[in-house]
Amino acid sequence: MKPRFTRPCELVAARGQIIVMYTLILPVLLLAMSFAVDFGYAYVARTRLSRAVDAAALSAMRNINLGNARAIEIARNAFNVNYGSAPGGDVTPPTVSIVITTDGSNNTVVNVDGTATINTVFLRLIPGFRGLNLASHAQVTRPKLIMALVLDKSGSMNRNGGAQALPPAVTSFVGYFDNLNDRVAMVSFSSVSSVDVTMRTNFRAAITAAVGGMGFVGATYASGGMQDGFTQITNVPTAPGENVVKVAVFFTDGWANTVQDNLNCPPSTKLNFGGCAPPEAAVGWCSGVSFLDPVNGNSRSCGATTFPSQVAGGPQPLTQQNISNDAMYRALQVANNMRAQNIVVYSIGLGDKISQPFLQQIANDPASAGFDPAQPVGKAVFAPTAADLQAVFQVIASKILMRLSQ
């Protein structure tokens, strides 16, 4: 078989076909490239715009306690910082609209709308495509907060600087929340518990005055304080389907060391008893077991040698260790009851006489050995010294505000 040789005229025809095909395909390739470049840049810019809008919405909501005007100003700054400068240049600077309103349940609503127009590189060759308009929207609804502060005012607070540091830390803390719409109560406890500020709006002045006037004396009846805080929260009526966040903040500088129960020492058998945890006894701060009338806080004498222990499920000797174990167990049961009512519990510990595992359990902190992910998750934070108290209260405030803004 003889080889076939291509004639020059056939080569010319083939080249002509390739040129025609190339001429037809090249515009398609250029158009595809223009789409890839311009819309790829548009995607990046749209992502930046969305991030900036989200940041502005969350920032406005977290600062709503400062008033709408200030919250909007802070939100605009957050938008600008997160949007940054656009590579390639925007046709016009981005614009943002921030509106704060309320919904049908009187919950605060923040609406943020951001727009930007970007230059195109290739698509600008097509009439009407010199720029691409981008838009993003974010809405954050802030539910009402129902919160109880449960504060330790035991005598040990005079030994670690807590008596001086707690009032300004609490005053600063309540300033983070909405004085007109949120509801906050304050409970304090030592050997007995008291409700110092009942659950209310317009709480800041009342709590500032109450915490500033607290006297620090006595033991640590933690379960009584927790129960009073629980009652304040559950006494607030809420409508079916109403969007609220319920929170308890528990502060202490030591072990729970006092319980209330019936003892065999008539005529009055219900007494508060205990008053000295092992870490405090070890450094000579206290000793023995004290008995008090839970109504007036007056000391009582009692010859009982056992008490009805909830940990053991029966009588146990009246020792400091047994009472403290029971006091912590009872406080934890109240915290569990709170979580069963969808109340988030946060805990704050001051100094070196606290039990961190106990406070982690109280809060259902993920760091706790008994952490239950099925229950509302809180946080336990610790202030090594009184100088750290302001900062740890701010940590808890940010956690609560984050939950309100989700």
Return the exposure string of 63-94: e unless at least 16 CB atoms fall within 10 Å of the residue's CB, then b: bbbbebeebbbbbbebbbebbeebeeebeeeb
- Residue 111's pLDDT is what? 92
What is the percent of the chain where pLDDT is above 70? 83
- Residue 153's pLDDT is what? 97
> Of 3-12, 20-29, 321-330, which range is least confident?
3-12
CA separation for the pair 147, 174 (Å, rounded): 10
Q: How confident is the model at residue 122 (pLDDT cuts 50, 70, 90)?
A: low
Q: How confident is the model at residue 7 (pLDDT cuts 50, 70, 90)?
A: low
Q: How confident is the model at residue 258 (pLDDT cuts 50, 70, 90)?
A: very high
- Residue 147's pLDDT is what? 98
- The two structure tokens encoding residue 66: 């400062």
Domains defined for the chain, CATH in brackets: 26-141 (no CATH), 144-405 (3.40.50.410)
- Residue 236's pLDDT is what? 94
DSSP for 283-299? TTS--S-EEE-TTT--E
- Residue 11's pLDDT is what? 44
pLDDT over 60 at 81, yes or no: yes
DSSP for 114-132? EEEEEE-SSGGGSTT-SEE
Q: What is the pLDDT of residues 356-383, one digit of tens each?
A: 999 999 999 999 999 999 999 999 999 9
- The two structure tokens encoding residue 142: 């802030």
CA separation for the pair 338, 300 (Å, rounded): 32
Question: Whose structure tokens read 């000793």?
Answer: 287
Name 297's Cβ contacts closer than 8 Å, sequence gap at least 6: 191, 192, 218
**Which amino acid is present at 211?**
V
CA separation for the pair 155, 215 (Å, rounded): 9
Q: What is the pLDDT of residues 157-177, one digit of tens each?
A: 999 999 999 999 999 999 999
pLDDT over 60 at 4, yes or no: no
Return the exposure string of 42-59: e unless at least 16 CB atoms fall within 10 Å of the residue's CB, then b: beebbebbbbbbbbbbbb
Q: How confident is the model at residue 51 (pLDDT cuts 50, 70, 90)?
A: confident
**Which amino acid is present at 70?**
R
The alpha carbon of residue 58 and the mean position of all alpha carbons in its chain are separated, in whole angstroms, by 13
Name 349's Cβ contacts closer than 8 Å, sequence gap at least 6: 251, 252, 253, 356, 359, 380, 381, 382, 383
**What is the enclosing helix (H) or strand (E) of 169?**
helix 162-174
Q: What does each C-alpha distance from 88 to 272, 277, 296 come to in angstroms?
A: 73, 67, 74
In sequence order, what E strands does 88-243 have? Answer: 90-102, 108-119, 131-142, 144-152, 183-189, 193-200
- Residue 225's pLDDT is what? 98
Q: Tell me phi and psi for residue 403, to 5 degrees.
A: -65, -35
- For residues 336, 339, 341 and 346, what is the CA-based torsion angle, rounded to 10 degrees? 120
- Residue 99's pLDDT is what? 92
* 8 Å CB contact between 122 and 377: no
**What is the enclosing helix (H) or strand (E) of 317?**
strand 314-317
CA separation for the pair 206, 40 (Å, rounded): 56
CA separation for the pair 56, 111 (Å, rounded): 9
pLDDT over 90 at 26, yes or no: no
pLDDT over 70 at 343, yes or no: yes
pLDDT over 70 at 290, yes or no: yes
Q: What is the pLDDT of residues 179-236, one digit of tens each?
A: 988 999 999 999 999 999 999 999 999 999 999 999 999 999 999 999 999 999 999 9
What is the average pLDDT across 302-331?
A: 95
* 3 state DSSP class of 260: strand
Question: Whose structure tokens read 């707690």?
Answer: 166
- Residue 27's pLDDT is what? 60
pLDDT over 50 at 266, yes or no: yes
- Residue 118's pLDDT is what? 74
pLDDT over 80 at 256, yes or no: yes
- Residue 241's pLDDT is what? 73
